[in-house]
Amino acid sequence: METNVQSAHQDIMEITARRNVPPIILVLVVANHVLAHHVIISMAANYTSYHKEKFSSVGRSPYLLQVREKEALEKLLEGLQQDSNAQESEQSHFQYIAAAPRIGIGMDASVTPLRHGGLSLVQTTDFFYPLVDDPYMMGKISCANVLSDLYAMGVTDTDNMLMLLGVSNKMSEKERDIVVPMMMRGFKDQAEEGGTAVTGGQTVINPWMTIGGVATTVCQSNEFIMPDNAVVGDVLVLTKPLGTQVAVNAYQWLDQPERWNRVKLVVTEDDVRKAYQRAMFSMARLNRTAARLMHKYNAHGATDVTGFGLLGHAKNLAKIQKNEVSFVIHNLPIIAKMASISKACGNMFGLLQGHSAETSGGLLMALPREQAAAFCKDIEKQEGYQSWIIGIVEKGNRTARIIDKPRVIEVPAKDRDGELW
Amino acid sequence: METNVQSAHQDIMEITARRNVPPIILVLVVANHVLAHHVIISMAANYTSYHKEKFSSVGRSPYLLQVREKEALEKLLEGLQQDSNAQESEQSHFQYIAAAPRIGIGMDASVTPLRHGGLSLVQTTDFFYPLVDDPYMMGKISCANVLSDLYAMGVTDTDNMLMLLGVSNKMSEKERDIVVPMMMRGFKDQAEEGGTAVTGGQTVINPWMTIGGVATTVCQSNEFIMPDNAVVGDVLVLTKPLGTQVAVNAYQWLDQPERWNRVKLVVTEDDVRKAYQRAMFSMARLNRTAARLMHKYNAHGATDVTGFGLLGHAKNLAKIQKNEVSFVIHNLPIIAKMASISKACGNMFGLLQGHSAETSGGLLMALPREQAAAFCKDIEKQEGYQSWIIGIVEKGNRTARIIDKPRVIEVPAKDRDGELW
């Protein structure tokens, strides 16, 4: 494993030099990629003996290939967009509007006006590689991540879900028979938690495990909130802490001495295990209450923070604004100790630069200044989780930036024995 | 390749003996599997040099693993079904109804009643491995296959589609940059042909290429046709010929001397190339006109013929009938010469037994006897393609069978120079 991560990292540096691609993207790709393989093993490790040799399936070339894939897919999607007034959202999530003008361009979900009186079809799909050991929690995280695209548009009621599974042929029968039903159960339970149900799906076999789904709702135009109405004077609110990718990676490094040696000066093993738990539960948490409160507190638009990292998604949201505004981010709420790890790893994650990928992250929304504090108080009262005012909306040319020395807010501020938050 | 197919075939026989699984299922799995790898090469072969060594990625164990996966997934889906009153349709397509009674159980698509006056959400998803050389046609086939689940319910207008892609990291940059956009284009063009549009999707990288999508429509209950109303005296109509799996496999055997030697006594290379072309265009053809005519001619229910083969899908349709009926099939319309190949291959495909898997096959529907001929005439007039009365609905216990010596209808009856049909 170590050697793979090593070689992958070298590959990245070569490719970065050669192809002038931001290394963070590549690291993200590799991180995902390693995780995809790691989880098959680590999930199995909960039940069966640990087969190190399986890591041999993670070779050198896959990274290079996947990196090229990444660039190429982005090109392809751009192509698809151009020939269809398309606009990308999410690293590998493409959407475009058809000839007839539609609501939905550049948003997290596609919005299709229906023939039936004023109704719109709001839909999204997402799937990715497993990234936590616990299959049940992985199912919940995947479901929460799919639903989050609807919640980002203020949709609170989802009419239907479909489950999309890619089951790895590298798993033993025993691993599979235990792991896959647990993932399905987690996905299904979280769908019910979200007030919806899984009524179908598709499963194929593929070497790398994938899990995801489709979320669909049919609603009146007053049931969703367009994301493009931010005005000067609004503030930016974030509903989950950052650092999930760092936490998940650091947790794996506990088994990788060379990696662990680089960070053990700034964190303890207990810090990492706690951060991993916090990340896991945060990723599995639904953004549904946040979506409800977007209506109550008159949000001017929102997006969910995932693969592009905080700054990437802030830029996407800024880009589509109707008014001449820009977003400035001053505060970074981060899962406790993950900022230290990111610093200790140099530019590997870019967490403080807003580049570190998140999975099933929080909603980033523009709220009227006078309502933001009430929103944060209300969501904490209802769910027991903090939200944070992290920045402002000022006059500008539809860009987003993080100030030079952002304030890092450790989440939680301090550990309480026996409590996660 | 040959050695892989060989070893795969040996594996199958061993497993069949050991696990008492119908060989046809396993052959189907292996066929798919070989195709998945074959197409990456063969598609590329259209543009780049042919890399035989790539076949080395097709090992012996994947077949065994995939076979186990298959069995296990079926178990898992049964499990999911049990705990949710679920009912399977399609080999790896699961659907179940939630606590609240819903229309949709056991049908090709899930049907979810909506909060909005009498409207229902009708949805399906499907994705699989590429199986023809031409990426553009593969995109069309995949799209037609997804839409077919809605057409089987008499749905003619699809509101939205999402595209689901798994891009292989085994493709070279050049292969990918040519192949993937062509697949996307084919999918998109066929969606437009079906009067709908692709507004989003998701792409991930995975060693085995997959393509598919999601089709969704919102409609009044009179816009779709429940499949469970067949009555004694109805006749069964099929709207596309059988034999797509045989044709696609035979075409690949042209490059595999050992395989080719087994069938070259019954078919010429030209027969096989023609059959492959016929299969490809048949799979890409939409069942939309058939869906429209289901309303005009008062169809009592339909399903689309895909992975389970004709008999498998006939049984699924019979099982859910409200009346005490059974289906008896007398005629098998088959792409010209494919029956001979199937016979020459012993029990490998089971085409004449109705076991051979089809991709994007025709609709199998129960029609009032007095309307069936008019249906067939009408669809041929509109599309230029034949449909066939292949059986009857008699009193019985909701089963389906093919008579001992069914009449094989060669499609087309005879070749016309320069014409496919």
Phi, psi torsion values for B6, nearest 5 degrees: -55, -60
Q: Please name the amino acid found at residue A99.
A: A
Kindly identify which residue of chain B lies nearest to residue A102, measuring between CA atoms.
B199
Q: Are the CB atoms for A275 and A338 separated by under 8 Å?
A: yes
Instruction: Return the residue of B nearest to A90 by Cα.
Output: B202
CB contact B417 to A (< 8 Å): no
Residue B29 has pLDDT above 80, yes or no: no
pLDDT in the model for residue A419: 86
pTM of the model: 0.79
Strands (E), A186-301: 198-205, 210-220, 235-238
pLDDT digits (tens, 9 = 90+) for B257-278: 999 998 999 999 999 999 999 9
Q: What part of B 297-356 touches A (C-beta under 8 Å)?
A: none
Please check whether residue A199 touches B, CB under 8 A.
yes
Query: For residues B337 and B343, what is the distance between their CA atoms, to the nearest angstrom?
Result: 10
Taking alpha carbons only, the member of A304, A309, A195, A160 closest to residue A246 is A309
Of A65, A66, A95, the CB nearest to B200: A95
Please give the pLDDT value at position A380: 97
CA distance B333 to B391: 11
On chain A, the residues whose CB falls within 8 A of the CB of B93 are 200-202
pLDDT category at A85 given cuts 50, 70, 90 is very low
Interface of A with B in 280-299 (CB under 8 A): none
pLDDT-wise least confident of A111-115, A135-139, B107-111, B335-339? B107-111
A104 interfaces chain B, CB cutoff of 8 Å: yes
* Chain A contact for B210 (CB, 8 A cutoff): yes
pLDDT (tens digit per residue) in B368-417: 999 999 999 999 999 999 999 999 999 999 999 999 999 999 999 988 88
CB contact under 8 A, A119 and B123: no
CA distances from B136 to A414, B141, B180, B225, B251 (A): 57, 9, 9, 32, 18
**Model confidence at A360: pLDDT above 80:** yes
User: Is the CB of B202 less than 8 angstroms away from the CB of A93?
Assistant: yes
* 8 Å CB contact of B72 and A208: no
Q: What are phi and psi of B36, to 5 degrees?
A: -55, -40
Q: Does B127 touch chain A (CB under 8 A)?
A: yes
pLDDT value for B72: 46
Instruction: Check A114 against B214: CB less than 8 A apart.
Output: no
Is the confidence at residue B92, as pLDDT, over 60? no
Identify the three-state secondary structure at position A359.
Answer: coil
Compute the average pLDDT of residues A61-67.
29
Amino acid at B294: M
Nearest-CA residue of chain B relative to A184?
A: B80
- Looking at every residue in chain A, the average pLDDT score rounds to 79
Cα distances (Å, whole numbers) of residue B45 to B50, B172, B207: 5, 12, 18
A118 touches chain B (CB under 8 A): no
CA distance to partner chain B, nearest, from residue A187 (Å): 12
Confidence of residue B418 (pLDDT cuts 50, 70, 90): confident
Q: Is the pLDDT of residue B43 over 80?
A: no
What is the reported pLDDT for A107? 59
Of A96, A208, A216, the CB nearest to B216: A216
Please provide the distance, in angstroms rounded to a whole number, between the alpha carbons at the two ends of chain B: 32
Q: What is the pLDDT of residue B419?
A: 86
Q: Which residue has the higher pLDDT, A183 or B54?
A: A183
Residues sharing a CB contact under 8 Å with residue B36, sequence separation 6 or more, in sequence order: B129, B130, B208, B209, B210
Q: Report residue A346's pLDDT band, with 50, 70 and 90 as the boundaries.
A: confident
pLDDT at position A25 is: 28
Overall average pLDDT of the A396-411 stretch: 98
Considering only alpha carbons, which residue of chain A is nearest residue B202? A93
- In tens, the pLDDT along A241-285 reads 999 999 999 999 999 999 999 899 999 999 999 999 999 999 999
Structure tokens at B341: 């190949």
- Is-contact B333 B411, C-beta < 8 A? yes
Dihedral over Cα of B52, B349, B110, B144: its sign: positive
Which residues lie below 8 Å from residue B184, measured CB to CB, with a gap of 6+? A76, A80, B139, B163, B165
Tell me whether residues B210 and A204 touch, CB distance under 8 A. Answer: yes
B343: confidence class by pLDDT, cuts 50, 70, 90: very high
The reported pLDDT for the residue numbered A407 is 98
Instruction: Taking residues A125-139, report their average pLDDT.
Output: 94
pLDDT mean across residues, chain B? 79
Find chain B residues with C-beta within 8 A of A115's C-beta. Answer: 157, 159
8 Å CB contact of A123 and B181:
no
CA distance B12 to B7: 8
Span of A12-16, A339-343, B390-394 with lowest mean pLDDT:
A12-16
Task: Kindly state whether A80 is in contact with chain B, defined as any CB-CB distance less than 8 angstroms.
Answer: yes
Residues A87, A78 contacting (CB under 8 angstroms): no
Nearest to B218 among A84, A114, A184 (CB): A114
B-chain residues near A198 (CB < 8 A) = 96
The tally of CA atoms less than 13 A away on the side-chain side of residue B142 is: 35
Q: C-alpha B130: how far from its chain's center? A: 12
